[in-house]
């Protein structure tokens, strides 16, 4: 039997205003809370509420045989607490079934793992405590922002005590190996990597509503036949995608929730397919090989590297300036650090991407700005505002 490992990412950033709000103090001057709330409430209505109800029903109807996993970013979790508590209750209800694993990640969905400072460890500890407090269990699986991994990151994750880590099953990571096996990153002794099968995952996340796709409309029995055709006996198939796929990116009227239900029920009826969480799969299956990962691999864009966030000079300049300010933000206190961390959310540099072809279309779909340059200017203004605030605080303290 092959484990189907369904992992859903839940993330909403704190989007920036195009211009700072005059007369507004604190974080509200830079972050567009009206837009953030409207997006969160819309996605909760379209996706989180109905999809959570569906997953709970599937778990109950199957006696817990259906199992899945979530990673909620700290920014999404805060917005759910503030603006959609009913949707958050739905996630808590899923945790109480015992059939859903909640993963840890960086608290603010940042690129801190790429930097040498201790911010990465601070954010992971913060997020781990919060997930345990909200969902009642300490995470043992870690999901880095955008599935970014290399050997150094893997060693840091293992050093924090995590046992499993989902990664992108890209050729540049696997080097001709199969994505339905477990792997150990070079330099680690305990951490297990669970690759994403990006073909099957993207069939749902990106191609489901594409009328130009040869397999449209995708039917659940056909999809399950594809899964069964993979020689993954005593292996697993990692189906990882944004949770917003179900009702937001792929509209409900296109049948995405019906497909999910039919796919799950159909898989449960087949002898060669079952469901497991990442932690369960990591404990059950053997490690197939050790993987060298000299360069970072992610799940974004065609090249599956860091180009989605650091591919042009605007992005690199923004990233350098941000992390140069981290020591001062840390020293300045909780409000300045929260401002910094909201700016460190990877979405901000993602919006600055000038990637070509279909990659740019994806960046533009998520961006609240009219252009990468506009995203850069808004970010630079917010970062300069933070720096000025820190300097003003230091000057007042000196007096």
| DSSP H helices in the chain | 33-43, 49-61, 74-83, 85-96, 119-135, 151-159, 171-174, 198-205, 220-229, 256-268, 278-284, 307-310, 313-324, 326-332, 334-344, 347-350, 357-366, 372-398
Considering only CA atoms, which of 234, 229, 219, 230 is closest in space to residue 266? Answer: 219
Q: What is the rounded CA–CA span in Å between residue 370 and residue 161?
A: 42
List the Cα angle 57/74/26 in 5-degree steps: 135
**What φ, ψ does residue 310 adopt, rounded to 5°?**
-130, 30
Considering only CA atoms, which of 47, 151, 142 is closest in space to residue 101? Answer: 142
Q: How far is CA 177 from the centre of its chain?
A: 24
Encoding tokens for residue 141? 């699986």
Q: What is the rounded CA–CA span in Å between residue 64 and residue 218?
A: 26
Active site residue 146: yes
| Bridge partners for 290 per DSSP | 184
* Dihedral-angle region of residue 147 (phi above 0 means left; psi in -120 to 50 means alpha; beta otherwise): left
DSSP 3-state assignment of 180? coil
Burial of 329 (0-12, 13-18, 19+ CB in 10 A): buried
Which residue in this structure is represented by tokens 């630079």?
380
**What φ, ψ does residue 306 adopt, rounded to 5°?**
-95, 5
Catalytic residue among 146, 168, 244, 248: 146
Q: What is the rounded CA–CA span in Å between residue 226 and residue 388?
A: 56
Q: What is the rounded CA–CA span in Å between residue 353 and residue 369?
A: 12
- Residues labelled catalytic: 146
């Amino acid at each position: 039997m092959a484990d189907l490992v369904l992992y859903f990412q839940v993330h909403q950033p704190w989007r920036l205003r195009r211009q700072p709000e005059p007369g507004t103090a604190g974080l509200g001057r830079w972050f567009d809370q009206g837009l953030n709330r409207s997006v969160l409430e819309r996605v909760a209505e379209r996706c989180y509420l109905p999809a959570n109800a569906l997953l709970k029903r599937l778990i109950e109807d199957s006696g817990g045989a259906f199992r899945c996993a979530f990673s909620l970013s700290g920014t999404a979790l805060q917005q759910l607490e503030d603006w959609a508590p009913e949707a958050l209750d739905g996630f808590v209800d899923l945790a109480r079934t015992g059939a859903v694993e909640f993963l840890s990640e960086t608290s603010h969905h940042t690129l801190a793992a790429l930097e040498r400072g201790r911010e990465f460890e601070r954010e992971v500890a913060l997020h781990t405590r919060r997930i345990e407090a909200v969902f009642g269990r300490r995470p043992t699986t870690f999901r880095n922002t955008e599935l970014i991994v290399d050997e150094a990151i893997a060693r840091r994750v293992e050093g924090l005590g995590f046992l499993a880590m989902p990664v992108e099953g890209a050729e540049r990571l696997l080097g001709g190996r199969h994505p339905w096996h477990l792997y150990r990153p070079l330099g680690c002794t305990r951490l297990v990597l669970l690759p994403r099968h990006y073909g099957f995952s993207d069939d749902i996340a990106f191609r489901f509503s594409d009328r130009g796709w040869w397999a449209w409309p995708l039917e659940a029995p056909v999809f399950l036949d594809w899964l069964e055709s993979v020689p993954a006996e005593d292996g697993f198939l990692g189906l990882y995608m944004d949770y917003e796929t179900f009702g937001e990116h792929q509209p409900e009227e296109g049948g995405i929730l019906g497909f999910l239900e039919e796919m799950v029920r159909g898989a449960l009826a087949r002898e060669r397919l079952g469901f497991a969480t990442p932690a369960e799969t990591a404990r059950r299956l053997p490690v197939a090989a050790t993987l060298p990962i000299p360069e970072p691999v992610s799940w974004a864009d065609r090249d599956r590297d860091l180009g989605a966030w650091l591919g042009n000079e605007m992005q690199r300049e923004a990233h350098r300036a941000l992390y140069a300010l981290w020591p001062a933000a840390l020293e300045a206190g909780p409000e300045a650090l929260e401002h910094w961390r909201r700016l460190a959310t990877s979405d901000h540099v993602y919006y600055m991407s000038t990637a070509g072809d279909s990659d740019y279309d994806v960046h533009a779909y998520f961006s609240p700005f009219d252009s990468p340059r506009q995203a850069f200017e808004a970010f630079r203004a917010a970062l300069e505002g933070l720096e000025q605030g820190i300097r003003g605080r230091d000057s007042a303290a000196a007096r």
